[in-house]
Amino acid sequence: MITVIKLHDKYFKPFISAKEIDDVLQRLAIEIAEDVGDEIPVFVGILNGSFMVVSDFIKKYPKPCEVTFIKLASYEGVKSTEDIQRLIGLTQDLTGRTVIILEDIIDTGNTLAEVHRIFKNEKVKSLKIATLFYKPEAYKKDFKLHYVGIEIPNKFIVGYGLDYDGLGRNLPEIYQIKETQHMTNLVLFGPPGAGKGTQADFLKEKYDLVHISTGDVFRYNIKNETALGMLAKSYMDKGELVPDQVTIDMLNAEVEKNTDANGFIFDGFPRTNAQADALDKLMDSKDSQINAMIALEVDDEILVERLLSRGKTSGRTDDADEPIIRNRIAEYYNKTAVLKDFYSAQNKYFGVDGVGSIEDITVRLSTVIDKL
């Protein structure tokens, strides 16, 4: 289970563990000690953020060393909109010393520019920069970074000394911001013949969503005689479910094809608990979630009638034969219907009467979606 935390108004998810940080600091300590040789270096931490890095790092440093801190302070610039960061507190004489700046994170490089500014007139023997985290996409300066722990993407992080408006510094691991989700993701649910495909066609237009029907993707693959199609056909012809991993991999690939979607209507997926778990993971990786499972409720005998009549024109072999149809409905009750509990437990299950005119049913579904 992924534990998301809330600091002020924002949500953050676990990103880099305490163990990983520890390993990286160990590696940096050894690397730096080797380079420094017999010198006694002065490690300079930049407050506030670097207090944890410095503390953990120097405990791992295998040889004698000195430690001091300077602090980043904000001043209002000449223009009131301008926020100038100045480093203060460098009182020690560092003439002739090997100085290693220890930073928690380097992003734009502005603090680093300030470091170079204040050290310009200090007659140090050498000035080196070490940082635990580095955001290459954000870095806009040319100063050399001598030791880099972990390169990370340009997303806001907290923990291990780093804060979001004061909070989060005490966390022993790093959390990354969860982007506000803009997607609406619906699972359209119900037994075969409930009208999921028909309704999805209307809803995708109305709400500008991408409709993914796993049944349609399988049939497309069968028509094009792909390996996936041939495999799926052997199950579909009997009215059985295609194995989970095959279906999950295919669904992941379909979602990845639509990276800028406003959201998805999943039709015919998930059909098992394993598929529902996989869908949660996939949504989570997109900093998103399933908003609702909307189920079309229709009596079995009406389903059989509808499917037999669809079979006269659809060309679907699994619609033509009553025993196969009944097997598909049985598969639904044996393996799929349990998902009602899965989504009910998250207060995301909405049942809708699936008998009536197509328009009436669209209205019923829209009423649920508009309230989400």
Q: Which residues contact 36 (CB under 8 A, 6 or more apart)?
A: 63, 98, 100
Select from 128, 135, 211, 328 the one that contacts ligand AMP (CB under 6 A). 328
**Closest approach of ligand AMP to the CB of residue 26, in Å:** 46
- CA–CA separation, 282 and 274 (whole Å): 12
The catalytically annotated residue of 10, 141, 155, 316 is 316
Binding mask 156-195 for ligand AMP (x = CB under 6 A): ------------------------------------x---
Residue 110, CA distances (Å) to 72, 75, 291, 339 in order = 11, 14, 41, 52
**Three-class SS of residue 118?**
helix
Q: Is 328 a catalytic residue?
A: yes
The pairing of beta strand 210-213 with beta strand 157-158: unpaired
Closest by CA position to 329, among listed 351, 213, 222, 321: 321
- Can residue 236 be called a binding residue for ligand AMP (CB under 6 A)? yes
Q: Is 326 a catalytic residue?
A: no
Q: Is 219 a catalytic residue?
A: no
- CA–CA separation, 13 and 2 (whole Å): 7
Q: Is 169 a catalytic residue?
A: no
Select from 271, 288, 296, 298 the one that contacts ligand AMP (CB under 6 A). 271
Q: Phi and psi dihedrals of 263, rounded to 5?
A: 155, 175
- Report the Cα–Cα distance between both ends of the chain, in Å, rounded: 25
The catalytically annotated residue of 204, 233, 271, 306 is 271
Structure tokens belonging to residue 314: 């659809």
Q: Are 103 and 129 in contact (CB under 8 A)?
A: yes
Closest by CA position to 126, among listed 98, 94, 105, 85: 98
**Closest approach of ligand AMP to the CB of residue 256, in Å:** 17
Stretch that binds ligand AMP, among 20-28, 45-53, 93-101, 239-247 (CB under 6 A): 239-247
Residues near ligand AMP (CB under 6 A), total? 17
Name the residue number minimizing CB distance to ligand AMP.
215
Q: Which residues contact 369 (CB under 8 A, 6 or more apart)?
A: 184, 186, 203, 207, 292, 294
**Closest approach of ligand AMP to the CB of residue 236, in Å:** 4
- Can residue 332 be called a binding residue for ligand AMP (CB under 6 A)? no
Cβ proximity to ligand AMP: between 109 and 195 the closer is 195
Closest by CA position to 361, among listed 213, 203, 208: 203
- CA–CA separation, 75 and 89 (whole Å): 15
The catalytically annotated residue of 141, 155, 169, 310 is 310
- CA–CA separation, 270 and 50 (whole Å): 46
- Can residue 49 be called a binding residue for ligand AMP (CB under 6 A)? no
Cβ proximity to ligand AMP: between 112 and 187 the closer is 187
Q: Is 271 a catalytic residue?
A: yes
Stretch that binds ligand AMP, among 63-71, 264-272, 280-288, 345-353 (CB under 6 A): 264-272
285-324 binders of ligand AMP (CB under 6 A): 318
The catalytically annotated residue of 135, 196, 233, 306 is 196
Count of other CB atoms within 10 angstroms of residue 30: 13
What is the Rg, in whole angstroms, of the alpha carbon atoms belonging to the chain?
Answer: 29
**Closest approach of ligand AMP to the CB of residue 264, in Å:** 14
Cβ proximity to ligand AMP: between 195 and 263 the closer is 195
Select from 72, 158, 194, 241 the one that contacts ligand AMP (CB under 6 A). 241
205-234 binders of ligand AMP (CB under 6 A): 214-215, 218
Cβ proximity to ligand AMP: between 168 and 311 the closer is 311
- Can residue 268 be called a binding residue for ligand AMP (CB under 6 A)? yes
151 alpha-carbon distance from chain centroid: 18
Cβ proximity to ligand AMP: between 239 and 263 the closer is 239
224 alpha-carbon distance from chain centroid: 33
Interacting residues toward ligand AMP by CB under 6 A: 192, 214-215, 218, 235-236, 239-242, 247, 268-269, 271, 275, 318, 328
Active site residues: 196, 271, 310, 316, 328
